[in-house]
Amino acid sequence: MVRRAALVITAVLSSVLAATPAVAGPGGTPGAPGIGDPYFPLDGNGGYDVKHYGLAITYTPETDVLAGRATIRARATQNLSAFNLDFEGLTIRSITVDGRSAQWSRSGAELTVTPRRTLRYGHTFVTKVVYDGIPQIIRDPNLGDAGVFATDDGVTIIGQPDVAATWFPVNDHPIDKASYDIDVTVPAGLEAVSNGLLEGRSTRNGWTTWRWEAREPMASYLATATVGQFDLKKYRAGGITYIDALDPALPEDIYNTAAASFARQPEIVKFLSQRFGPYPFSASGGIVDNNEEFGFALENQTRPIYAPGFFDSQESGDAVVVHELAHMWYGDSLAVARWSDIWLNEAFASYAEWMWSEDQGLGTAQEIFDQNYARPATSSFWTLRIGDPGADHLFDGPVYDRGAMTMHALRLTVGDAKFFRILRSWAQQNRGGNVSTAQFIAHAERVSGQQLDDLFNAWLFTPSKPPAPAA
C-alpha cells in the first residue's frame, strides 16, 4: 500500500487454524472466533483452512445494493461442531453446509455457523451463504477508510487490513490464502474489474456478468470487484496477461499520465524480475477510478488500484506503479503471517522505488538513503519501532521509509551480490506462502554467512537513530 503524502510459519499455521476455545460442542469443538493476531485478535477464524471462494455478486448502482452468493470450500483442521466467518453488516438470507441448512448467529462482525453434523478433521466441506444489503465503509481514524466506496456509476472495493468482510463472508486474515472465482453482474454498459484473468462475460435482460478467475492463492484483503465505466485494455507481454482499467471520466491530464505509466508495466515487471526473480502470477494490470474518497494505492493481487492523485506527474505515476507491482512479490505472493510484520511488505516495495529511481537517473539509492538519514536524531521519525509498530501505526511513514533504509543498510553490510541473492531466494523459496521477520533475518544470515542481529535490532526494533552503515 502507498498512502498519498506519503518464526516458523508451519507452527504458526497449525496453531491458528487449529486453535479452539475451551468449551466443547457435541462430537467436536467450535473453531476459534479469531486467528489470534496480536494486533487484530478477531480477524480470521480457527478450525479450518479455506481452499477456494466462489463469489457471485450483483451490484445495483442506483440503490448501492450488493446481493451475493458465496460458496466457500474449506478443510477442517479439527473436529468442528461450529465455525466462524468474518462478515459485517449485510443481511444473511440463508446458509447451508454440505447442502444442508445450518444454524447461525451473529455478534458484531463474527458470524457463527453450526452445521447439522460435526465436521470431522480432514473433511473438505462447502458452505454457501446468500446475502444482500448496502455495504458500509470502515472508518478508522488511524488506519484510514476502507470498504466498498460508492461512485457515480458503481463502486471501488479497496482497503487494508480489513475490507473483505464488508462484501463477502470470509476467513479474513492473510495467513489463510485461497483461490477465487468472482462473478460480478452489473447493468449492461458498465464494466466489472476483479483479480486474475477475465474468463468471459455475457449479457442478458439488460445485465452483464463478468467472470474472473484468480488461480493463485490470495489473501482476502487483496480481492476486489470494482464496478463502473472503464476503458479496458488487454494485452500480453513477457508471458503475462495485462488488463488495465481507466475511468474515462478522469481529468484528461490524469488519464494520460496514468495510461503512460500503465504502458510501462511490462518494462517495470522486467526490471523487478531481474532483481526479485520471475513474476509470481499469470496476470497483471491496474485500475484507476475517478474516485477521490480514498487517497491511497493498494496492491490488489494482479490488479492494483490507484487513487487518481498519484498521476499528477509522470515521475509520481511511474513510482507508484513500481511500488505496487513490487508488492506482487513482497506482500501478495509472500504475505505476512501477522500484521506486526508489515514492514516486510512496505520496505521491499519502497526500496524498489529507490532502485527504479537510480535506474532512471533520478537519484541513487544512496542519495535517497542519505536524504532520509539527514533527519536529526530528535526527529519523531526515529521513534517508531517499525518491526512491531503497533496496530494504529501500520501505515505510518517510517514503516515505508525507514523500512527501505533497513534494506539499504543490509545491502551495504553484505554487498550487492549477496543482497540480491537474498532478495531473489527469499521470494522464490516462500512463493505463495506467509512469512515473518524472524524468518527473513534467519534467511539473510544464512545466505550472507553473516551474523545480522545487531543490524536488524538497530533498524527495526530500536526507537532511536541507528548508526550509519558503512558504505
pLDDT of residue 338: 97
Per-residue pLDDT tens for 255-282?
Answer: 999 999 999 999 999 999 999 999 999 9
Of 174, 197, 223, the position where a domain reaches its end is 223
Q: Are 242 and 249 in contact (CB under 8 A)?
A: no
40 with 183, same domain: the answer is yes
Helix axes 437-448, 416-429, angle to 10 degrees: 130
Helix, strand, coil fractions of the chain, as percent rounded to 5: 30, 30, 35
State the average pLDDT over residues 315-329: 98
Asked whether residue 379 is assigned to any structural domain, the reply reads yes
Query: Edge-to-edge, what's the strand order for the sheet holding 100-101?
Result: 100-101, 91-97, 124-133, 65-76, 48-60, 178-187, 207-218, 197-204
Q: Write out the three cell numbers for 266.
A: 511490462
Per-residue pLDDT tens over the stretch 166-191? 999 999 999 999 999 999 999 999 99
Residues 341, 215 within the same domain = no
In CATH, what number is assigned to the domain containing residue 377?
A: 1.10.390.10
Grid cell for residue 338 = 501477522
Question: Considering the entire predicted model, what is its pTM?
Answer: 0.93
Look at residues 223, 243, 259 and tell me which one is the last residue of a structural domain: 223
User: Residue 99 belongs to what domain range?
Assistant: 30-223
Residue 69 falls within a domain, yes or no? yes
Residue that terminates a domain, selected from 205, 223, 241: 223
CATH number at residue 117: 2.60.40.1730
> Could you tell me if 217 and 341 lie in one domain?
no
Q: How many domains does the chain have?
A: 2
Tracing cell 475517478 back to the chain, one arrives at 290
Task: Evaluate whether residue 404 is within a structural domain.
Answer: yes
| Residue 300 belongs to a domain | no
Mean pLDDT along residues 27-41: 94
pLDDT category, 206, cuts 50, 70, 90? Answer: very high
Q: Report if residue 351 sits inside a domain.
A: yes
Is residue 87 scored above 70 in pLDDT?
Answer: yes
Percent of the chain with pLDDT over 70: 95
Distance of CA 381 to the CA centre of its chain: 25
**Residues 219 and 355 both lie in one domain:** no
The secondary structure of residue 387, as a DSSP letter, is T
pLDDT reported for residue 27? 79
Query: 86: pLDDT confidence band, cut at 50, 70 and 90?
Result: very high
The residue with greater pLDDT, 136 or 442, is 442
pLDDT at 105 > cutoff 70: yes
Query: Residue 11: its pLDDT value, please?
Result: 38
Domain match, 66 and 208 both: yes
Judge whether 10 and 49 are in contact, CB under 8 Å: no
Query: Tell me: the pLDDT tens digits for 223-257?
Result: 999 999 999 999 999 999 999 999 999 999 999 99
Question: Is residue 391 in a domain?
Answer: yes
**Cell matching residue 113:** 455457523
Q: Which residues pair with 306 in a beta bridge?
A: 288
Per residue in 372-408, pLDDT (tens digit) is 999 999 999 999 999 999 999 999 999 999 999 999 9
**Together in a domain, 209 and 346:** no
Which band of pLDDT confidence, cut at 50, 70 and 90, is reported for residue 194?
very high
Residue 229 lies in a domain: no
